[in-house]
Chain A
């Protein structure tokens, strides 16, 4: 199997997607050239890679909930924050708990705590109508934020926690190179795991629930249990992303737990293509490009001289982007196509389908 056919089989499934990957390739090439020529600092690039990796984890987590099971979870920022706070409180020597444990305990606590909180939130809300879940989860996320903000004796409140240790200090790499590699490894593992689960019988039940819950019930499936499993799994991935962020940024405070962070992740998933893991990763990269790219707007003389604040411009851009995607490309950039078909089963039928698609002018389905 040649490299090109491997790429077209596993990543690019459609001629219309080739353009998107071409753009991504060009941007990556430009960044590499930028680093080689010294225009882009290597540590800056590594920090951005780490951020994209973290956002990709969050998007993958939300994709399990919304993309696989159709659960509207508006508490992404809260689970992210729980993970970050577990890592910070257990590992930082100057946290109010003062334990100074090894980071592995932080990650373990993030997984356990987020699974428990997801169960606690899921038990009352997952039986509700889908839009009720949206409102209830946003409300409960605000409760979590208020608790972290107000219970100073446990969480240090608004002053935040600093002095979080970095990950794997024994690796012969710079700190940012280490964190970037950690998130890439984490991301690949979780990506492969999720791709496998999506194709498994479990993933197929979730897909049925998403498109027709009554049908899934009629088939004898305990839909509530499946939704709960998806909710817990997604929340754990979000918390792992949060724990990673604590070790990337070395400082955490409650100001990142606001609903806007949740909406960023929603854009990443919808923009990438609801239900598509590839899309979740690409969407995360685009959102980081928007978030970080707008930081430099003030350096552009034309905008800098207007004296505009960049933060509201970014807010405007994000809002317009949500409206435009929902209106003109609700399926996203890389909507899921035949990922769910087991590779062995696909080999015959997909070639036939592809031939048919080309003869139809290669239109997007």
Chain B
């Protein structure tokens, strides 16, 4: 039997795709952690809500737009992505308005526990509207891009490229918003020190609204990409929530750039576990990929609780 030889670069490609998804989810989680000051356990299920909203919009977008394509994917997929991002952003804002905001006095632990309730409500709503089966967006199967495969010996599908490119575009857009706009500067100030920001006259309500809009939209993008790469499942978001937390903690809670870096590292490690196993670095296989991410998270909490990017203390 010829041993199935997979190029190590194939794992790196898979890692980049998974990292893109984790980075998008981690940014929103980190924003909420720093600005609203609680660990939002509903963030994973918000990704699911975004992915299913996009799925819902496919049913009316596809008949209208037909087979018009863009970058190797049908045009309706991009519009469905936008629809999913918009609905998740709106749902995040409404959840804050009606559930988190009236609970100002109950502290970060009260909000943390409440967010578990919110997560269950999101997931139950998805179950009730779409059933418990997994689904697909119906993007036609595509093989790997031939010339990449011939030149580098690595399978890269057009949808891989779209996921990584769009994630990069979204991250760069967020970076520009944070650094070049007044709102972005207000957000960074509030994340840094909410009390100081309030004293300096920053209207934090505006910042909080922007935070939920951005966090919700990016979570939905992550959810849609996860659904595109794998399947659209009602438990998809919750299942990767802990990996997203691992990324946020690794990068340093409260730092958006830390979340990006942490997401990249955790996503990559998650996909490289089989390779490490082959090389004899890790004694476990891909079934323990998530466990490896959690152990890294606990190790970081022990050694440097402020994360890679965060300051000490």
Contact = CB atoms under 8 A, between A and B. Distances in A.
Given A323-B121, A326-B114, A326-B117, A142 B301 contact: no
Give the interface size class of chain B: 35 or more
A219 B112 CA distance: 30
A146 B99 contact: no
Contact of B294 (A128, A140, A309, A312): A140
A270 to B, nearest CB: 7
Contacts of A147: 291
Given A309-B132, A323-B99, A143 B123 contact: no
Interface in A102-127: 124-125
B128 A308 contact: yes
Nearest to B114: A326
B120 A132 contact: no
A331 B58 CA distance: 45
Interface stretch (B101-109, B137-145, B175-183, B210-218): B101-109
A29 interface: no
B112 A312 contact: no
Contacts of B122: 319
Given A125-B301, A135-B249, A312-B128, A266 B109 contact: no
A43 B88 CA distance: 47
B116 A322 contact: yes
A357 B157 CA distance: 72
Given A131-B39, A135-B245, A150-B287, A320 B121 contact: yes
B242 A142 contact: yes
A259 B242 CA distance: 11
Given A132-B301, A136-B301, A327-B103, A319 B124 contact: yes
B113 A326 contact: yes
A322 B246 contact: no
Contact of B127 (A124, A134, A146, A311): A311
Contacts of B117: 318-323, 326
Contacts of B187: none
Nearest to B99: A323
B297 A139 contact: yes
A57 interface: no
A99 interface: no
A322 B111 CA distance: 11
A130 interface: yes
B119 A139 contact: no
Ordered nearest first, which 3 A-B pairs have the shortest CB separation? A322-B117, A319-B120, A312-B127
16 contacts: A124-B301, A125-B301, A129-B305, A132-B305, A135-B249, A139-B294, A139-B297, A143-B295, A309-B132, A319-B121, A319-B123, A319-B124, A320-B121, A326-B103, A326-B114, A327-B114
Interface of A: 72, 124-125, 128-132, 134-136, 138-140, 142-143, 146-147, 150, 259, 263, 266, 270, 308-309, 311-313, 315-316, 318-323, 326-327, 330
